Amino acid sequence: MPASQAKFGLQAKAQSPDVALFIDWENLKISLSQANLRVNLTSLRETAETFGRLVIANAYADWQDDWHQSDPENLYAAGIEPVYVPTRMVTESTGIRRRKNSVDIKLTADCVECCHNHPNIGTFILASGDGDFIHMVNTLRPYGKQVVAIGVSWSTSPRLADRVDQFLYYDKDVDPIDTQRYRPHGLARGAGDESELERIFEVVTDIVRSSQHGDRALLSWIKNELIRRLHQFDETRFGFPKFKLFMREAERRGLLYIVEDGLVDWAYLPGAREAEELGVRSVAPIVEPLDEAALPAIIRFADALEARSPYVAFMYLVDQVSRAAIVPHLSRDQLMLLLNQAVDSLIFLRGTYTLEDPLSGETKNIRTLVLNRDHPTVREALAQVAEPQPAAQETTQPAPTPAPEAAPEAGGAAPADGELSRLLAALEADSDNPTLLMSAARRCYQLRQYDRAIAYQRRAVACDPDNVEYRCLLARTFSTAGLQAEAMETCREAVARAPEHPLPHLTLGSILYAANAWAEAEAEFRRALALESENAAQRAQLLLSLARCQERLGREEEARALAREGLQLVPDHPGLLEFEDYLRMSPSQREGFQRAKQAAALAVQPGREAETIEAAQSAIQADPEQYLSYYALGEVHQRLRHLRTAAENLERAARLCPSQATKAAIYQKLSRLYNRLGEPERAQQAQFQADSLGLPQTTVRIAEEV
Domain 3-177 falls under CATH 3.40.50.1010: yes
Average pLDDT for the chain: 75
State the CATH architecture for 588-705: Alpha Horseshoe (1.25)
CB 351 within 8 A of CB 368: yes
Residues 507-523: tens digit of each pLDDT:
888 888 888 888 888 88
CB 619 within 8 A of CB 599: yes
Q: Where are the domains of the chain?
A: 3-177, 188-269, 275-386, 588-705
pLDDT at 157: 83
Burial of 194-231, coded b for 16+ CB within 10 Å and e otherwise, reads: eeebeebbeebbebbeebeeebbbbbbbbbebbeeeee
| CB count in 10 Å sphere of residue 120 | 9
Residues 487-499: tens digit of each pLDDT:
889 888 888 888 8
pLDDT at 469: 84
pLDDT at 394: 38
Topology of domain 188-269, CATH: Nucleotidyltransferase; domain 5 (3.30.420)
Q: What is the distance between the alpha carbons of residues 71 and 374, in angstroms, rounded to a whole number? A: 40
* Mode of pairing for the β-strands spanning 348-356 and 363-371: antiparallel
pLDDT at 405: 34
Query: Which of 260, 400, 248 is CA-nearest to residue 318?
Result: 260
Residues 386-442: tens digit of each pLDDT:
433 333 333 333 333 333 333 333 333 444 556 677 778 777 777 788 878 888 888
Residues 267-292: tens digit of each pLDDT:
877 655 443 443 333 333 333 334 55
pLDDT band at 24, cuts 50/70/90? very high
Q: Is the dihedral of CA 241, 242, 245, 247 positive or negative?
A: positive
| The two domains 3-177 and 588-705 share their CATH topology (first three levels equal) | no
| Lowest mean pLDDT across 30-44, 238-252, 403-417, 444-458 | 403-417
Question: Which range has highest mean pLDDT (314-328, 359-373, 409-423)?
Answer: 314-328
pLDDT at 93: 54
pLDDT at 186: 46
